[in-house]
Amino acid sequence: MTIFEYVSVAVSIIIALAIAEGLRGLRSALDSKRRYGIHVTWIFIKLANPVFYWWAIWGLRDFPEYWNMGTFTYLLMMPSIMYLQLHSLVSDNPDLIGDWRKHFYDQRRWFFGLNAFLAVLAGFNFTNVFISAPPSAFPIAAYTLIGVLSIAGFMSDNSRLHAVIAITVAAFSFVYYWVILFRPLSLS
């Protein structure tokens, strides 16, 4: 077993827990009598994030010399934050939430505070500080924008602003992950 395989087991467990947490509340959040579109958009974005993260860390398999307790802990931080975000979106008991709009705005500071921190970590990943590769400008700029939008979401309860933030992040996620990151990889 390689160090990457060993480390990826722990990452995969946290990713699975994050996805399970989001799926646990999805049915309730989609209930037409209580549904809030911005909230549902964020659930889908945050359900996709751990999948994308899992796919992205495959590139770290070629750098065994950089693995230590610090990089391992750092690698676990992002899926842990994703878990906490999904938990904040679906709550402990999603069936008891009568108004998902109210719930979203009650949780927005926690959610967007974590999202800003996640954007910082994601942007930092692309500086390639842990590996010998040049920094990647597009993701650093995009995650900086997401960080700024997250601070705006943290500070404001304006529903139009939140719609713009959710749509912008969803569009970035689609373009970056589906068009750029999900290109075919050589597994040889």
Residue 35, phi then psi, degrees to nearest 5: -60, 145
Residue 171: closest CA among 149, 188, 155, 156: 149
Q: Would you say residue 93 lies in a domain?
A: yes
Range of the domain at 131: 3-181
Q: Would you say residue 96 lies in a domain?
A: yes
Find the DSSP H helices in 33-184.
Answer: 37-56, 69-90, 100-125, 137-155, 159-173
Q: Would you say residue 186 lies in a domain?
A: no
Segment holding 16, helix H or strand E: helix 3-29
Model confidence over 8-40: pLDDT tens digits? 999 999 999 999 999 999 999 999 888 999 999
Q: Would you say residue 107 lies in a domain?
A: yes
Model confidence over 109-156: pLDDT tens digits? 999 999 999 999 988 877 766 656 666 777 778 889 999 999 999 999
Q: How confident is the model at residue 71 (pLDDT cuts 50, 70, 90)?
A: confident
Residue 30 CB partners (closer than 8 Å, separation 6+): 40
Count of domains forming the chain: 1
Q: Would you say residue 72 lies in a domain?
A: yes
pTM of the model: 0.88
